[in-house]
Amino acid sequence: MDLLGRANRDASRRALTGGPPARHSARRPLWRRRSPHRDRGTGRTGARVPPAAVSGVGTLPATPVVILTGPIQSGKTTALVSWIAERRASGARIGGVLAPVTDGKRHLRSIANGEERILDVAASDGGGSDADVVAIGPHRFYADVFAWARAELLSDLDSVGRAGGCEWVVIDEVGPLELRDEGLEPAVGEALRICTEHDGLRVLLVVRDRLLADVTGRYGLADPIATVIDVTDLSAPISSI
């Protein structure tokens, strides 16, 4: 739909509902400016799927985005693993990637199929060549493992709206690399865009507490789009969603 047609549609809708005039921001969040997702079922760009019952809705608001935050090594991934098991036992369809640390090495694991790959560059690789490595500070990661994880995320997102498609997509984690458009980007931005267009998808992001303001600002994640859960706050555990 062109911009004029969209404006006419929105004006008609406001006239019917008595809603206030639309307000336009001079600067939209980055994830809203990404290329449109094409719904293969309808062939239309940005088509909304029918509202669906999303498993795992509890006492907290059912916002499109949930952010699980806390300090480094505070148990965020461990809490996620337990939450995923509980939700799957209730029939929830969950995709995305986890970032567990095993034997001191960070891995990336596909939630959908369980495949896991080592992300940290091994000392036996001699630190890896610059072409094969994504580096930030003292940390060096395999670029091809990030590429694999992005492909897994996009595959999960492509299932949204189909029979048996994902209701939740988990992204562990959004950090300094994603803030500079590396790591799991652009899959993070695509997930956030799709979850605001499709009623059947919610996205759960893991973000370190010291980066929370940067991430919410970068992606425009404020009320009523996102709910923030602190893994150290026992009064509002992740099981509340």
Name the pLDDT band for 128 (thresholds 50, 70, 90): low
Please compute the mean of the pLDDT values over residues 64-83 and round it to a whole number.
Answer: 95
End-to-end C-alpha distance for the chain, whole angstroms: 35
User: Is 90 exceeded by the pLDDT of residue 60?
Assistant: no
Q: Report yes or no on 165 lying in a domain.
A: yes
| Residue 219 or residue 37, greater confidence | 219
| Residue 28 or residue 239, greater confidence | 239
Q: Report yes or no on 23 lying in a domain.
A: no
Q: Report yes or no on 184 lying in a domain.
A: yes
What's the confidence (pLDDT) of residue 13?
Answer: 41
The helix (run of H) or strand (run of E) holding residue 3 is helix 3-17
**90: Cβ contacts below 8 Å, ≥ 6 apart:** 55, 56
Please compute the mean of the pLDDT values over residues 146-155 and round it to a whole number.
Answer: 98
Residues in the chain: 241
What's the confidence (pLDDT) of residue 129?
Answer: 66
**Residue where the block lists tokens 């865009």:** 193
User: Is 50 exceeded by the pLDDT of residue 115?
Assistant: yes
Name the pLDDT band for 175 (thresholds 50, 70, 90): very high
How many folded domains does the chain comprise? 1
What's the confidence (pLDDT) of residue 241?
Answer: 85
| Residue 15 or residue 224, greater confidence | 224
**203: Cβ contacts below 8 Å, ≥ 6 apart:** 64, 65, 66, 168, 169, 170, 171, 191, 192, 195
Name the pLDDT band for 82 (thresholds 50, 70, 90): very high
How does the average pLDDT of the chain come out, rounded? 79
Q: Report yes or no on 106 lying in a domain.
A: yes
CB 173 within 8 A of CB 99: yes
User: Is 90 exceeded by the pLDDT of residue 57?
Assistant: no
What's the confidence (pLDDT) of residue 108?
Answer: 98
Cα torsion at 1, 166, 64, 203 (round to 10°)? -110
What's the confidence (pLDDT) of residue 226?
Answer: 94
Pairing between strand 94-98 and 105-110?
antiparallel
CB 224 within 8 A of CB 236: no
CB 238 within 8 A of CB 59: no
10-51 pLDDT, tens digit each: 444 444 444 444 433 333 444 443 333 333 332 222 222 222
Tally of CB atoms within 10 A around 166: 26
Domain span holding position 159: 55-240
User: Is 60 exceeded by the pLDDT of residue 61?
Assistant: yes
What's the confidence (pLDDT) of residue 211?
Answer: 98
The helix (run of H) or strand (run of E) holding residue 153 is helix 143-158
CB 31 within 8 A of CB 189: yes
Strands (E), 30-161: 65-70, 94-98, 101-102, 105-110, 116-118, 133-136, 139-142
Please compute the mean of the pLDDT values over residues 193-217 and round it to a whole number.
Answer: 95
Name the pLDDT band for 194 (thresholds 50, 70, 90): very high
Closest by CA position to 212, among listed 199, 200, 198, 226: 226
Phi, psi of 146, rounded to the nearest 5 degrees = -60, -40
**160: Cβ contacts below 8 Å, ≥ 6 apart:** 49, 166, 194, 198, 200, 201
| Residue 161 or residue 54, greater confidence | 161
CATH of the domain at 141: 3.40.50.300
